Amino acid sequence: MSDEIHRLLREDLRGKRPYGAPQIQVPIALNTNENAYPLDDEVVAVVSRHLEQRLRNLNRYPDRDAVDLRHDLAKYLGAGLSVDNLWAANGSNEILQQLLQAFGGPNRTALGFMPSYSMHPLLARGTGTDFVDAGRRADYSLDAEHVAQAITAHDPDVTFLVSPNNPTGTALTTDVITAAYDASHGLVVVDEAYAEFARDSSHSAIHLLPGRSRLVVSRTMSKAFAFAGARVGYLAADPAVVEALQLVRLPYHLSALTQAAARGALECSEQLQHGVERLRRERDRIVDTLRSWGLPVADSDANFVLFGGLTDSHAVWQKLLDRGVLVRDIGLDGRLRVTAGTETETTGFLDALDSTRNENPELFVEAEQ
């Protein structure tokens, strides 16, 4: 960046680095928590039909409020929700950004519990919102007492909870969410990007929405719907929250093609669930195998696994990359995160890690077991 542009840049952004995972061409890419299974031909045909219906009208602006899509999303979630409870945007990141634009901002505070989704503090910074990290316990768990105490101490305008959490994969129980809500005077946002992969769907905050006007549940179609390239996120909340977001959303923010494609995917939600079930099996295979090797592994309700027992996590990351397997070094000492892939991809990862263990036992704390 030139000195002149650096001078003009906001002071709080100077010297910062943008969000991003390494984009490296490898045979097995398991670093960004994408759905490993592409859309099958039947789903592609349905999505294509929805797109074709919109192509001839691209000279017209899209439905500014995406009412038909929101209706379909409400139907998908159930739980007595209506179109008035739903809002959609370009990925859940835009949803979170809009929430901070409306309820955060200068002289306001957002509270999170790191390590968690790294975009939360970045989005807070981008909207001029102060971000406070209340941390987690040594094992990265989060309980109702810790959450309530942090909220009481900091009195945030927006509180972020993530369930299942990224990068740990652990899900919150409903008592943690209700404790956060009861302790808060502000908005409580539960980021459920990986909710469809959870082993127990009853813990979803969707079921807690009635009677809680300050509770928001954010989700995405990127993961369970294998729709990462389409960029579709949404939230469920009290209608007043949805109404407030329309004060900050850009006009016609969600393109007609995006809305059409998302409606096609939602039409195939039951079929796409089969891919979710396959990824759950591969996730559990990773957990069981790594634990059988003596490596500590966090319980995962997502489509990825956080594992430890490494003396040099970045060295192990490089050894895997040298074998054509890309996982995520998320900056936690002694730990790496791997996305559950297809059966072949998962086998490739496990074989590469096993070879690394055998050839470089000094990189593994539990290698002698």
pLDDT of residue 10: 86
Residues 352 and 249 in one domain: no
Q: Is the dihedral of CA 225, 222, 263, 243 positive or negative?
A: positive
* Cβ 209 vs Cβ 110: under 8 Å: no
Of 242, 267, 292, the residue that ends a domain is 267
Residue 369 lies in a domain: no
Residues 246 and 284 in one domain: no
Residues 260 and 279 in one domain: no
Residues 324 and 254 in one domain: no
Residue 45 lies in a domain: no
Number of domains in the chain: 2
Residues 112 and 226 in one domain: yes
Of 214, 236, 267, the residue that ends a domain is 267
- Residue 351's domain comprises 19-35+271-363
Residues 82 and 224 in one domain: yes
Of 204, 237, 267, the residue that ends a domain is 267
Cα 332 → chain centroid: 18
Residue 7 lies in a domain: no
pLDDT of residue 349: 98
Residues 164 and 239 in one domain: yes
Within 10 Å of residue 14's Cβ, how many Cβ atoms?
10
pLDDT of residue 23: 78
pLDDT in tens, 82-134: 999 999 999 999 999 999 999 999 999 999 999 999 999 999 999 999 999 99
Instruction: Give CA–CA dist 301/283, Å, rounded.
Output: 9
Q: Tell whether pTM > 0.95.
A: no
Provide the Cα torsion 172, 174, 176, 181; round to 10°: 130
pLDDT in tens, 221-246: 999 999 999 999 999 999 999 999 99
* Cβ 198 vs Cβ 165: under 8 Å: no
pLDDT in tens, the chain (369 residues): 788 888 888 888 888 878 767 778 999 999 999 999 999 999 999 999 999 999 999 999 999 999 999 999 999 999 999 999 999 999 999 999 999 999 999 999 999 999 999 999 999 999 999 999 999 998 889 999 999 999 999 999 999 999 999 999 999 999 999 999 999 999 999 999 999 999 988 889 999 999 999 999 999 999 999 999 999 999 999 999 999 999 999 999 999 999 999 999 999 999 999 999 999 999 999 999 999 999 999 899 999 999 999 999 999 999 999 999 999 999 898 999 999 999 999 999 999 999 999 999 999 995 444
pLDDT of residue 369: 42
Residues 279 and 336 in one domain: yes
- Residue 323 sits in a domain whose CATH number is 3.90.1150.10
Residues 245 and 314 in one domain: no
Residues 163 and 298 in one domain: no
Residue 240 lies in a domain: yes
Residue 12 lies in a domain: no
Residue 354 lies in a domain: yes
Within 10 Å of residue 187's Cβ, how many Cβ atoms?
24
- Residue 88 sits in a domain whose CATH number is 3.40.640.10
Residues 31 and 68 in one domain: no
Residue 88 lies in a domain: yes
Instruction: Give CA–CA dist 226/278, Å, rounded.
Output: 13
Q: How far is CA 89 from CA 54, 65, 86, 192, 267, in A?
A: 18, 10, 10, 15, 19
Residue 13 lies in a domain: no
Residues 209 and 317 in one domain: no
